């Protein structure tokens, strides 16, 4: 009997930092091969990624890399769970939970405001790590 895949899409404003980190960290801790994750941005950001963000993520044992990707209809059709990591989107559940894209939506209100300060970046990433660990545990993906 084949087990159905469960697809999670992490979305933030630009897919340069929060959603990209959440995707990479989930992949690092996930032990359930039936849970797949991707990330995207509402307004894809510039490339290359911010060097300070990459450095702090690496210090926490997570490699963030790759070009920012936009949210597409294919990704909205692909996901079973959409995790929005944003604090400034009005009515995010209404925006992403309509019509044929009607999937579960979780909102993590995590700011992206840090002014390039490494300590603030680390605090943001640790908050994301806590929530990713909680989500993974809820879905049976973490040891």
- Indicate the fold that domain 6-137 takes in CATH: Rossmann fold (3.40.50)
Q: Could you give the 3-state DSSP secondary structure of residue 85?
A: strand
Domain limits, the chain: 6-137
Global pTM value:
0.90
SS3 content of the chain, % helix, strand, coil (to 5): 40, 15, 45
Q: What is the mean pLDDT of each run of 10 residues along the chain (143 residues)?
A: 84 94 97 95 88 96 96 92 85 62 81 83 96 93 59
C-beta contacts of 126-130 below 8 A and 24+ residues apart: 126/60, 128/18, 128/21, 128/22, 128/25, 128/85, 129/25, 129/60
- Asked if the bond preceding 48 is cis, omega within 30° of 0, the reply is yes
pLDDT of amino acid 97:
61
pLDDT of amino acid 24:
98
């Amino acid at each position: 009997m084949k087990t159905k895949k469960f697809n999670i899409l992490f979305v933030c404003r630009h897919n340069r930092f929060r959603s990209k980190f959440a995707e990479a960290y989930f992949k690092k801790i996930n032990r359930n091969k039936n849970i797949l994750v991707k990330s995207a941005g509402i307004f894809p950001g510039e490339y290359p990624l911010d060097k300070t963000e990459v450095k702090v993520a690496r210090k926490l044992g997570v490699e963030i890399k790759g070009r920012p990707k936009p949210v597409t209809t294919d990704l909205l059709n692909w996901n079973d769970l959409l995790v929005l990591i944003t604090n400034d989107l009005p009515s995010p559940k209404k925006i992403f939970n309509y019509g044929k894209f009607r999937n579960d939506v979780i909102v993590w209100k995590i700011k992206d405001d840090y002014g390039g300060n490494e300590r603030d970046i680390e605090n943001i990433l640790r908050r994301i790590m806590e929530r990713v660990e909680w989500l993974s545990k809820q879905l049976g993906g973490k040891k």
